[in-house]
Amino acid sequence: MKRTEPNRRVSRRQFLHRSAGGVALAGVAGIALPAAVGAAKETDPPAPDGVTRPTKVQARAGSAGDQPGAASPLTQRGEMPAGKLGSLKLSRILSGGNILSGWCHSRDLLFVRTLAQAYLTPRRQFDTLQLMEELGINAIVLDMIQLDIVKQYRKERGARMQTVVGIRPDWGDWSQPAWGPLKTEIQRTIDQGPESLFVHGGYADRLVQSGKSEAVELIGKAIQFIREQGYPAGLGSHALEVPVACDKQGIAPDYYFKTFHHDRYWSATPRDRRKRFCVDGQKHLDHNEFHDNIFCIDPEETIEFMREKPQPWIAFKVLAAGTIPPASGFQYAFDNGADFLAVGMFDFEVADDLKIAREVLQNTRRERPWRS
């Protein structure tokens, strides 16, 4: 789980004092955190095959199980390289929403969920968000059901963390794609005050995999509706076939949210055993088909697709859920065209990862121009 060895003798307060007086750290970190606090209720409808259900965590600073005492307000904000997403100014590194969710990429390690539940207390979640924001990360990518947690964090810490939110119907509606449930969730999420919305990658994957033109049209309808409400509208996906299919129907999002990492790590599924995304109604293929160890099976094709696209590209899973060293994963993603990286960090990884990210951004070698 550990990618770097932090200096455990330096407290968070000491680190912030040092960073305030020295070079502002800017950053990125790209793991998918293991499980978060909480678990799905037994009464919830089952998630579709291959889907790990996110958990809605009612985070509250100073709640039971956390250290007592009022949380300190956010009093300083760092700066880091930034770009534009529509009218939004976003740091090149966006926080992944893993610290607030129940997603767990842990291969076959059974202890990881329990370990994460013990470590990621509600107060630690807020403290980690605050640390990221103090060091220059100004936005988080998350599932729509975690949006109220960030709202509470903003209120309690005087924070400004922006939100880029993945939209999908309720879990029980996945098998029957329809505009009504999707529109309802878009409207409900807008009422919560996000800064941008995108069609959830897992949902978009399934729509395209169905092979039905009307299912793909639903993606376009959602993007257009989000845009009409005045928000940048994105397209999420794990499979490259999703933006390709949308291209064929003339569906152009304001930005892409696509998995991207190289496969130079020992547990990556060998190329001759990787299955292409099937548009034939068969069982959905995603990372669970590959023992939860590879999240972008076509990085070269992804590079080529994005090369001429004028829209910004947010890359995620850039460290293949913690198996690629940050320097390698960040360099690969930025050099090959990504405009932003959405990455997850434990609190003890933030400082080192942000330092690495700034160094990478100062030395990136791109063929694709910055699109933001």
Question: Residue 277: which of 235, 243, 324, 317 has the closest Cα?
Answer: 243
Q: Tens digits of per-residue pLDDT, 186-213?
A: 999 999 999 999 999 989 988 888 888 8
Residues forming a β-bridge with 224: none
Predicted confidence (pLDDT) per residue in 103-156, tens digit? 667 777 778 878 877 888 889 999 999 999 999 999 999 999 899 999 999 999
Residue-range domains of the chain with CATH: 26-35+82-362 (3.20.20.100)
Confidence at residue 76, expressed as pLDDT on a 0 to 100 scale: 66
Instruction: For strands 93-96 and 340-343, give the pairing.
Output: parallel
Q: Where are the alpha helices (DSSP H) in 8-76?
A: 12-21
For residue 356, name the pLDDT band (cuts at 50, 70, 90): very high
Alpha carbons within 13 A on the beta-carbon side of 323: 19
Q: What is the DSSP string of 198-236?
A: EE-HHHHHHHHHTT-HHHHHHHHHHHHHHHHTTS-EEEE
Q: What share of the chain is helix, strand, coil (3-state, %, to 5)?
A: 35, 15, 50
Tell me what pLDDT residue 26 has.
Answer: 34
283 pLDDT exceeds 70?
A: no
Chain centroid to Cα 250, Å, comes to 26
Tokens for 240, please give them: 């490259």
Residues pairing with 236 in the sheet: 257
Question: How many C-beta atoms lie closer than 10 Å to residue 268's C-beta?
Answer: 20
Question: Tell me, what DSSP letter sits at residue 31?
Answer: B
Please say whether the beta carbons of 136 and 24 come within 8 A: yes
Tokens found for residue 264: 């130079």
pLDDT of residue 55: 43
Instruction: State yes or no: pLDDT of 372 exceeds 50.
Output: yes
Which of 323, 259, 328 lies closest to 293 in space, CA to CA? 323
pLDDT category of residue 277 using cuts at 50, 70 and 90 = low
